[in-house]
Chain A
């Protein structure tokens, strides 16, 4: 999550993949390029729906436990001979995974990288950070601090 702010090139791709994974279908479709403006799109792995096990940690830091399963869509595409774009997204929307993979492929292409980073990733990252902060503020009000007075033994 902190990697959103790191400019290091090795951190850049995980960062935009995380942003794309959280983006909604509407947000992705708004920036979708026209099909005829791109080289042929090859679906190396057509969008497929599966399950992932969500794991949590007791108290955020304790022993891991299985929270439950969630459906997830994954997809891998290639534009012409270009790099491979991959995506994983929670839910069952195949089109969303397909678009996210397409954007990942485009973002690895120097020709499209800067424009997409500016037009798509930066605004989405900002909106996602804001909504996360908003949610944290909302729940912070209901936080309960548990503490007891130390008894004699200590």
Chain B
């Protein structure tokens, strides 16, 4: 029972909290670039509230999770509450947890699904220092009325070039949910990103 002493509780109200988080992240991916509130941090869990709640709500025994930073306590916590196994490699993961966006692996390292089954791709959760205030970009695509301006902070310089390749691979490719504290913002593979002039 290694790490049992640090094992933190899961969602306070399992049924309703997970339904709420599920609805919110569904909405976040349906309306790319719009911030959605997921919920406050969980006591004893060293993760942002949104990230922790999404992992508990979406994970189960059929969704391997890949952690950028192996933390035995967190891994044990998620395993205990959801039964989600650990993925050894990013391309074996249903969900990937990135806590250090500056050191993130390439988006191409994650599972992109197949042309026949694009749903077997990874969904990447990335914790950022802030979901606004960074260099502003224009997002267009399904779920966006005309154009959505988003200024994410803390992304590596070559991220948007990688994203372009990911978008071009449609219907394959990864979907990203950026989180910061109790909030989340979706970037599905269908979204096209355009840099504003002068940025």
Interface residues of A (CB under 8 A from B): 42-46, 48, 76, 78, 81, 83-84
Residues of A within 8 A of B7 (CB): 44, 76, 78, 84
Cα distance, A52 to B39, chains bound together (Å): 31
Residue B14 lies at the interface, judged by CB distance under 8 Å to chain A: yes
- State which size class the interface on B falls in: 10 to 19
Instruction: Say which residue of A45, A46, A48, A83 sits within 8 Å of B4 (CB atoms).
Output: A83
How far is it, in angstroms, between the C-alpha of A42 and the C-alpha of B4 when the chains are bound? 13
- Indicate if the CB atoms of B10 and A45 lie closer than 8 Å: yes
Among the interface residues B5, B9, B80, which one has the most CB atoms of the partner chain A within 10 A?
A: B9
Q: Is B149 in contact with chain A by the CB < 8 A criterion?
A: no
- A150: min CB distance to chain B, Å: 51
Residues of chain B within 8 A of A76, CB atoms compared: 7, 80
Nearest CB to that of B1 among chain A residues? A84
8 Å CB contacts to A: which residues of B1-28? 1, 4-5, 7-10, 14
- Chain B residues lying within 8 Å of A84, measured Cβ to Cβ, are 1, 4-5, 7
Contacts of B80 in A (CB 8 A): 44-45, 76
Asked if B9 contacts A43 (CB within 8 A), the reply is: yes
**In whole angstroms, what is the CA distance A43 to B14 when docked?**
13
8 Å CB contact of B14 from A42, A48, A81: A48
> Chain A contacts of B10 at CB under 8 A?
44-45
B79 within 8 A of A: no
Q: Does B192 count as interface, using CB distance less than 8 angstroms?
A: no
> Chain B's nearest CB lies how many Å from the CB of A59?
31
A and B contact pairs by CB, cutoff 8 A, 7 listed? A44-B9, A45-B10, A46-B14, A76-B80, A83-B5, A84-B1, A84-B4
CA distance A91 to B4 in the complex (A): 26
Q: Which of B136-175 contact A (CB under 8 A)?
A: none
A13 to chain B, nearest CB (A): 10
Q: Does any Cβ of A come within 8 Å of B89's Cβ?
A: no
B9 A45 Cβ-Cβ under 8 A: yes
Q: Chain B 64-90 against A: per-residue CB contact (8 Å), 1 yes, 0 no?
A: 000000000000000011000000000
Q: Which 4 A-B pairs have the closest CB atoms?
A: A84-B4, A44-B9, A44-B7, A84-B7
Alpha-carbon gap, A153 to B134, bound state (A): 88
Asked if A44 and B8 make an inter-chain contact with CB atoms under 8 angstroms apart, the answer reads: yes
A115–B196 CA distance with the chains assembled, in angstroms:
72
Contacts of A81 in B (CB 8 A): 5
Chain A residues in 8 Å Cβ range of B14: 46, 48
Q: Which residues of B contact A83 (CB under 8 A)?
A: 1, 4-5
State A76–B77 Cα separation when bound (angstroms): 13
Complex contacts, B1 vs chain A, CB 8 Å: 83-84
Q: In whole angstroms, how far apart are the Cα atoms of A81 and B44 in the complex?
A: 12
Flag if A42 contacts B5 (CB, 8 Å).
Answer: no
Residue of A43, A46, A81 with most chain B CB atoms under a 10 A cut-off? A46
Known pairs A45-B81, A46-B14; list 15 more (Cβ under 8 Å): A42-B9, A44-B7, A44-B8, A44-B9, A44-B10, A45-B9, A45-B80, A48-B14, A76-B80, A81-B5, A83-B1, A83-B5, A84-B1, A84-B4, A84-B7
